[in-house]
Amino acid sequence: MTGSTIQRQPKQVVRLGRADRSWYATWFWEIDRVLLLLVALLIGIGLIAVAAASPAAAGLEGKPPLYYFTRQLVWVGLGVPAMIGVSMLPKEAARRWSIWAAVVFALCLVAVPFVGIKVNGAVRWIGVDPIRFQPSEFLKPFFVVALAWVLSLRQQDRSLPVVPLSGLAVGLIALFLMKQPDFGQTVIFCTVWMALLLLSGVAMKWLYALGGAALGLIVLAFLFYDVARGRIMEFVTGSGDTYHVDVAHATIVNGGLVGLGPGGGVRKFKLPESHNDYIFSVIGEEFGLISCLAIAFIYLAIMVRVFIKLLDEEDNFLILAAAGLATQFGLQALVNMAVNVQVVPSKGMTLPFISYGGSSLLAVSIGFGLLLAFTRRNPYLTRSPYVVKWSSRQ
Partner 1 sequence: MNAPFPAIAAPPERVRLAGARVESASVAHFRLMVMMLLFIAATAVIAGKLAWMAVASGPAPTAASTYGLIPPRADIVDRNGVTLARTIDAWSIAVHPDKLMNPPEVVAAKLAAILPDRTEAEYLAILKSGRSFVYLKRRALPELIKQVNAIGEPAIALGREPERLYPQGNLASHVMGWLDQDGKPTSGMERVLDTRLTADHGRGRPVALSIDSRVQAALETELNAAMVKHSAIGASGLVLDVKTGEVVAMTSLPSFNPNAPSFGAVEDLANKSTLNVYELGSTFKMITMANAIESGVVTSMSHRYDATAPLQVGRFKIKDDHPQNRFLDVPEILVHSSNIGTARIADALGPERTAAFFRKLGFDAPADIELGAKGRPLWPKFWARTTTMTVAYGHGIAVTPLHLASAYAALVNGGVWRPATLLKRAPGQVPEGRRVISEATSARMRQLMRLVVMKGTGRKADAPGFRLGGKTGTAEKPRAGGYAHHSLISTFAGVFPMDAPRFVIIAMLDEPKGTADTFGYATAAWTAGPVIARTVARIGPLLGVMPSLTKDVDESELLPLLWEPKGANPNAVE
The site for partner 1 (CB under 8 A) is made up of 59-62, 155-159, 195, 198-201, 241, 243, 252-261, 264, 266-267, 269-270, 272, 284, 288-290, 292-293, 296-297, 299-300, 303-304, 307-308, 310-311, 313-314, 316, 319-320, 323, 327, 330, 334, 337-338, 341-343, 384, 386, 389-390
Task: Please identify, using beta-carbon distances, which residue of 80 and 253 lies nearer to partner 1.
Answer: 253
| Distance of alpha carbon 160 from alpha carbon 106, whole angstroms | 23
Closest to partner 1 by CB, 135 vs 184, is: 184
Closest CA to 347 of 119, 188, 174: 188
Helix, strand, coil percentages for the chain (3-state, nearest 5): 70, 5, 30
Nearer to partner 1, 105 or 280 (CB): 280
Q: How far is the CB of 123 from partner 1 (least distance, A)?
A: 18
Q: Could you tell me if residue 203 is left (phi over 0), alpha (psi between -120 and 50 degrees) or otherwise beta?
A: beta
What angle in degrees, to the nearest 10, is found between the helix axes of 243-254 and 289-310? 100
Smallest distance from partner 1 to CB 39, Å? 17
Cβ distance 51 to 263 under 8 Å? no
Nearest to partner 1 of 229, 389 (CB atom): 389
Q: At what angle do helices 316-340 and 183-199 cross, to 10 degrees?
A: 140
Question: How many Cα neighbours within 13 Å face the side chain of 57?
Answer: 22
Burial of 236 (0-12, 13-18, 19+ CB in 10 A): exposed
Exposure string for 198-227, b = 16+ CB within 10 A, e = fewer: ebbebeeeeeeebeeeeeeeeeebeeeeee
Q: What are phi and psi of 343, to 5 degrees?
A: -90, -30
- Rounded to a whole number of angstroms, the minimum distance from the CB of residue 327 to partner 1 is 7
Closest contact distance (angstroms) between CB of 342 and partner 1 is 7
Residue 146 or 260 with smaller CB distance to partner 1: 260
As measured in angstroms, the least distance from the Cβ of 209 to partner 1 is 17
As measured in angstroms, the least distance from the Cβ of 302 to partner 1 is 10
Shortest Å, Cβ 120 to partner 1: 9
- CB nearer partner 1, residue 138 or residue 340: 340
Nearer to partner 1, 79 or 255 (CB): 255
